[in-house]
Amino acid sequence: MDITGVGIGRGTAIGPVVRMASALQEPADVERDGKLDAQAEIERVKSSLDAVKSDLSARAKAAAQGDKGAQQAAPILEALGQMAGDPTLLDSISDLIKQGKTADRAVFEGFAGFEQTLTALGGYMAERAGDLHDVGQRVIADLLGVSAPGLPQSDHPFVLVAEDLSPADTAALDLSNTLAIVTTQGGPTSHTAILARARGIVAVVSAAKADELSDGMTVIVSAAKSLIIANPSDEEIQEARAAQASAAHAKDLRGKPGALKDGTAIPLLANVGKPEDADPALEYGAEGVGLFRSEFLFIGNAEPPTVEEQAKAYAALLSRFPGKKVVIRMLDAGADKPLPFLTPENEPNPALGLRGLRTLKAHKQVLEDQLEALVEADRVTNAHLWVMAPMIADQYESEYFVKLGKSKGLKFVGTMAEVPSIALMANEVAEVADFVSIGTNDLTQYTLAADRTLGSVSNYQTAWHPAVLRNIKLIADAGKAHNMPVGVCGEAAADPELAVVLAGIGVTSLSMTPVALDDVRAELAKYTLQEAQEKARRALAGEFYHCAMLA
Q: What CATH number does residue 286 fall under?
A: 3.20.20.60
Kindly state whether residues 167 and 138 are assigned to the same domain: no
Cα–Cα distances in Å, from 269 out to 255, 324, 383, 423, 469?
A: 12, 10, 14, 23, 21
Residues 214 and 231 in one domain: yes
Residues labelled catalytic = 191, 489
Question: What is the reported pLDDT for 18?
Answer: 92
148 pLDDT more than 80 = no
CB atoms within 10 A of CB 145: 6
Per-residue pLDDT at 436: 98
Q: Rounded to an integer, what is the distance from CA 21 to the centroid of its chain? A: 26
Domain containing 140 equals: 38-144
Instruction: Specify whether 276 is located in the same domain as 158.
Output: no
3-state DSSP assignment of residue 140: helix
How many structural domains is the chain composed of? 3
295 and 421, same domain (yes or no)? yes
DSSP 101: B
Same domain, 389 and 435: yes
Q: Which of 5-9, 144-148, 433-437 has the highest mean pLDDT?
A: 433-437
pLDDT for res 124: 58
Other CB atoms within a 10 A radius of the CB of residue 348 amount to 9
Establish if 26 belongs to a structural domain: no
- Write down the pLDDT at residue 549: 53
**Residue that finishes a domain, picked among 191, 220, 249:** 249
**d(Cα 447, Cα 264) in Å, to the nearest integer?**
30
89, amino acid identity:
L
Q: What is the CATH number of the domain that holds 112?
A: 1.10.274.10
Task: State whether 195 and 285 are in the same domain.
Answer: no
Whether residues 42 and 163 fall in one domain:
no
197 and 96 in a common domain: no
Q: Which of 249, 272, 290 finishes a domain? A: 249
Q: What is the rounded CA–CA span in Å between residue 176 and residue 160?
A: 13
Statement to judge: residues 49 and 10 lie in one domain: no
Does residue 440 share a domain with residue 416? yes
pLDDT class for 522, splitting at 50, 70, 90? very high
**Same domain for 227 and 264:** no
Residue 238 has pLDDT above 70, yes or no: yes
Instruction: Determine if the pTM surpasses 0.75.
Output: no
Query: Do residues 502 and 460 share a domain?
Result: yes
